[in-house]
Chain A
Amino acid sequence: MWQYIIRRLLLMVPTFFGITFACFLVLRMADVDPVATQMEMGLQGGQVSQEAMEHLRKLYHLDRPWYEQYARLVGRLTVPLCMDYSEEGISVAGWRLFSRMACDEGARLTLDLGTSWRDGRPIVEIVGEALPITVLLATLSLLIAYFIAIPLGIYSAVRQYTVGDQITTVIVFMLYSLPRFWIGTMLLIFFAGGHYLEWFPLQGWHSFEGFDEMSLGERISDVAWHIVLPVVTLTFNAFAALSRYMRTGMLEVIRQDYIRTARAKGLSEHMVVFKHALRNSLIPIITMLGLLLPFVVSGSVVVEFIFGIRGMGGVALEAIRLPDYPLVITIVAFVSLLTMVGILLSDIMYGVVDPRISYGKEQ
């Protein structure tokens, strides 16, 4: 098992470089001059001297060959984890972390990802603000999606072709085909706009005023109140797809010989479904988890936009517009890491649920 995990982690390294490189390449091919765009955006029609622009290009290493640019961008992401800046020379990453935290009181672990070209803020800071809310939205909506989809899928499968199943099917497909922005907007109009109901706030993921003075409990309830609508919007599609998968999986399992055996044993239908069929039919939908993660993250772009939340989606959108190379690469790196870890986790869970899967265990 450990060997398997280590092997998978090692395999992530080339994948990581592949993804970031592809991203870099696409950015380069778009052939947009970040400096010029920045100037335009910043000065609103004013003029900048040619020298100033050249200076900026130099500062951003845009005058260097492409491979050096890539190395510098990605180097930012990898170097702080692998190399030691201190006088002791190069040591193993883990050891350095440990030794510095243990011995050097003043020093703390800093992750230097460079600064954004747009406003010169450290990228760590930008991502640090945006990432938690996106992760919160994604995790919550995935969890809710699973919680609704599993029982619904079971219901549809066990009552296949009954009126209940038909109705669920129609509703689920309707939800699935509705675009997110439409759902989001409708929710805003009906539940937050003030035209009909005003149950939820219009914007942001927490109150703008007085948030800092709130106690922890108050903060939590404040955030919860704010993110109800975004989470609902984000949950829709994932939940619709998942419940269909669950239904198919259950139908597949219920036809298996071992289900017949369970019935022949004299188990009640309830036991057959919830004990013998459920665990088997969960196997395929668990693998979905890793694959859904990036979709939910990218889906949050729309949701964040509608609900005025500044999360990874909004940051990514702004960064690509420039293009803010270091920020874009960092975001891509984060999302791809998240995806790879998600897939690895679902593979590991696969092995936990299904005893037939063993990861290189020797007989």
Chain B
Amino acid sequence: MSQPGTFIHPGVPRIDGEPLLSIDDLQTYFHTDEGEVKAVDGVTLAVEEGKTLGIVGESGSGKSVTAFSIMRLIPEEQGRIVGGHITWRGKGEAVGLESIPIEQMPRYRGAEIAMIFQEPMTSLNPVFKCGWQIAEAITQHTDAGWDEARRRAIELLTEVGIDKPEKRMNQYPHELSGGMKQRVMIAMALACDPRLLICDEPTTALDVTIQQQILDLIGKLQRERNMAVLFITHDLGVVAEITDFVVVMCPGETLRLLDSGDDGKDSAGFDRGGHIVEFGSVTDIFNNPQHPYTKGLIACRPTLKTCSKRLPTISDFIQAEKQGMTLDPTDPYLEIDYPGRATVSREEMRGFGEPLIELKGIRTWFPIQSGIWQRAIDWDRAVDDVDLTIPRGRTVGLVGESGCGKTTLGRTILQLVRPREGQVFFEGRDLTTLSRKELRPLRRRLQIIFQDPYSSLNPRLTVEDTLVEPMTLHGLYENTQGRRDRAVWLMERVGLKADHLYRYPHEFSGGQRQRICIARTLASEPEFIVCDESVSALDVSIQAEVINLLLDLQDEMGLTYLFITHDLSVVKYVSDVVVVMSSSRVMADLYEGEERERIVQEARGGHIVEMKPPDELYRNPEHPYTRKLLAAIPAGDPQQIRRRRKAAEA
């Protein structure tokens, strides 16, 4: 495979020849109330016929905006392309997509360039049948009538690996699972044999095993149809699975530190929006990253090999670069000190390792009601017979795919949902027998951090109000002044400033908001915290910072965590014990014949299939479901990728 561009200087590829798509010095700016935001600032790249190019970067790096610029999908009132060229050679002659009237774009969209999006849940129109939506794309660009279009749609559904395509044609999007919806999206994108498929984070919202299937599917279709693919993701591990060449994009803001002069003033060069900092083959990027941003991006995502006590972050690498040091991002033992790192260890705390929470035979079933009198005709067995002990000061990692009951289990422990059967012991007291009133004083000690920092903070409360409220509720500290002082302490502890206290949640970034959520949780001085996908929605470097913070707090305060996540690498890194949850429905596909019959008959809801210390679990997974999960983890290791890809092609 030839390289679609060569370096002029690091980070800027030059365009040679006449590639299918070439983007030259693209600038896309957004107009906001605060002025112009340079979302994409001088991006140059090329996609060759039948090749796959990956774009990697964090949110705000302009990678999605680059894709939307190609399709001209940015609403005019929000932003526009202010400079550069997008040259498309779909049918021989070159078309400048950036300058043609917007009314002409439908000719290219869907027909020559197709796109799939991040959120399969919301990307299909909920009021139209799946088949109709695919057929519509066909009739739009070809002379085919509806019957012909329907027939082709069924073929496409078969091609993207959907079983019973005739049935799916007549189903509405909400009747399909997330993975199936993404397959329908792909079928729709392929409807008119596009020359280029743009994939904007197509697997981010999916479970790890489904992600693997979708990646395999895109790879297969790309080879079979000799289609070019532009693959956008924030996950280096994922991009390594599917592409050969990668550009790394970075928001200019991140490099402020690097570019600022010795006198502390910003140099002229940093004031740049999202742009490309590095370009190369996947192997090169992984084995020999040049730019500190790329190094940080590789290092901050924990892999199965990571052994560092704390995760390095992108700013660590930029700092190091500035001071003229070189850090090896692939070193699994890399330890970097930072202010605020815990100086004590949880092992020294009183009662460490003693059972704090014990679950006995927990069954949380939700009734499925029907009929005029709304009688329960069946049960949704979210959690079905779980026994688990959580020792004080330790982290129990809970993994599983959507619908395995992991979130319900977390909420059952906190008695946010009451189980139908079983006991939850907290320091020997059975929480299930307590009334709401009796539970209230215990709530102080049992807390939760949610996934979405955007919706879990009340937008009408200042940060101070948010932090003081739980203290007032539980009567902590004598007076308001004492609580305010504590709020200041909490803010500083989670790495924010005291003067941020008077701001409202919308003034913060996602990572900062999650820090506020953590501070709020700590305000009531809990002993046990359920982290329900608490780091899943964050960018990798922010994720590393928040994980470090959680680990520091655990060491300092002897906290006990139940760490719920679908990310198998993160859970291995943070946990002392890993619990894998699944249900009969999810697992039925793993078996064949009589065994399968038995599993289907059993119809057991979410339960624990395997529970081991992380090293042992990952080295020696016993349960077939665990093995399947582990096999689906994106490698993030060039050698492993090459091996896996050969196997896929064979």
Contact = CB atoms under 8 A, between A and B. Distances in A.
A and B physically associate:
yes
A65 interface: no
B104 to A, nearest CB: 11
6 contacts: A161-B77, A260-B123, A264-B71, A267-B106, A276-B128, A280-B125
Contact of A354 (B110, B127, B136, B140): B127
A355 B73 contact: no
A286 B311 CA distance: 53
B109 interface: yes
B108 A360 contact: no
A265 B107 CA distance: 10
Contact of A362 (B111, B372, B377): B377
Contact of B124 (A3, A258, A362): A258
Given A3-B372, A260-B117, A266 B111 contact: yes
A-B CB proximity, top 9 nearest? A266-B110, A266-B109, A257-B122, A258-B125, A265-B110, A355-B172, A266-B106, A264-B115, A257-B123
A266 B122 contact: no
Interface in A279-311: 279-280
Interface in B339-362: none
B137 A3 contact: no
Interface string B98-121: 000001011111110011010100
A263 interface: yes
Given A161-B77, A257-B122, A260-B73, A265 B370 contact: no
Interface residues of B, number: 39
Interface of A: 3, 6-7, 10, 160-161, 256-258, 260-269, 276, 279-280, 353-356, 360, 362
Contact of A3 (B73, B77, B192, B371): B371
B80 interface: no
Given A256-B122, A258-B122, A280-B125, A3 B370 contact: yes
Contacts of B77: 160-161
A362 B370 contact: yes
B372 A261 contact: no
Nearest to B373: A7
B175 to A, nearest CB: 8
Most chain B CB inside 10 Å of its own CB: which residue of A256, A266, A268, A355: A266
Contacts of A355: 126-127, 172, 174
A169 to B, nearest CB: 16
B372 A264 contact: no
Nearest to A256: B122
A268 B108 CA distance: 11
Contact of A265 (B127, B136, B377): B136
B291 interface: no
Interface string B309-349: 00000000000000000000000000000000000000000
Nearest to A277: B125
A188 B369 CA distance: 56
A250 B370 CA distance: 34
Interface of B: 71, 73, 77, 103, 105-111, 114-115, 117, 119, 122-128, 136-137, 140-141, 172, 174, 185, 188, 192, 368-374, 377
A172 B399 CA distance: 54
Nearest to B124: A258
Nearest to B137: A265
Contacts of B117: 257, 260-261, 264
A266 B126 contact: no
Contact of B107 (A161, A266, A356, A360): A266
B372 A6 contact: yes
A266 B141 contact: yes
Contact of B188 (A6, A265, A268, A360): A265
Contacts of B105: 266
B140 A267 contact: yes
Nearest to A8: B372
A260 B115 CA distance: 10
A168 to B, nearest CB: 17
A319 B314 CA distance: 78
A264 B126 contact: no
B70 to A, nearest CB: 11
Contact of B125 (A268, A269, A276, A360): A276
B106 to A, nearest CB: 4
A269 B371 CA distance: 44
Contacts of A264: 71, 73, 109-110, 114-115, 117
Nearest to A362: B370
A56 to B, nearest CB: 45
Given A266-B107, A266-B109, A266-B137, A261 B125 contact: yes
Contacts of B185: 261
B184 to A, nearest CB: 11
B102 to A, nearest CB: 8
Contacts of A354: 126-127
A3 B127 CA distance: 24
Contacts of A261: 117, 123-125, 185, 188
Given A265-B140, A266-B109, A360 B370 contact: yes
A238 B374 CA distance: 36
Given A257-B123, A355-B174, 16 more contacts: A10-B372, A257-B117, A258-B123, A258-B124, A260-B73, A260-B123, A261-B124, A261-B185, A264-B115, A265-B109, A266-B107, A266-B140, A280-B125, A355-B172, A356-B174, A362-B377
A344 to B, nearest CB: 15
Contacts of A262: 125
Contacts of B73: 260, 263-264
B561 to A, nearest CB: 34
A269 B102 CA distance: 10
A156 to B, nearest CB: 14
A30 to B, nearest CB: 39
A265 B109 CA distance: 6
B269 to A, nearest CB: 34
Contacts of A268: 103, 106
Most chain B CB inside 10 Å of its own CB: which residue of A265, A269, A276: A265
Contacts of B174: 355-356
Most chain A CB inside 10 Å of its own CB: which residue of B71, B123, B124: B123
Given A263-B73, A265-B140, A266-B140, A353 B127 contact: yes
Contacts of A257: 117, 119, 122-123
Most chain A CB inside 10 Å of its own CB: which residue of B371, B374, B377: B371
Most chain B CB inside 10 Å of its own CB: which residue of A160, A264, A356: A264
Nearest to B125: A258
Nearest to A263: B73
Contacts of B114: 264
Nearest to A268: B106
Contact of A280 (B127, B368, B371): B127
Contacts of B188: 261, 265
Contacts of B126: 258, 280, 354-356
Nearest to B134: A265
Contacts of B140: 265-267
A260 B198 CA distance: 14
Contacts of B373: 7
A360 B374 CA distance: 9
Nearest to B106: A266
A352 to B, nearest CB: 10
A356 B172 contact: yes
A356 B127 CA distance: 8
B161 to A, nearest CB: 20
A356 B175 CA distance: 8
A161 B124 CA distance: 28
A267 B377 CA distance: 45
Given A7-B372, A160-B77, A360-B371, A266 B127 contact: no
Contacts of B124: 258, 261
Contact of A266 (B108, B125, B172, B374): B108
Contacts of A160: 77
Contacts of A280: 125-127
Most chain B CB inside 10 Å of its own CB: which residue of A261, A262, A354: A261
B140 to A, nearest CB: 6
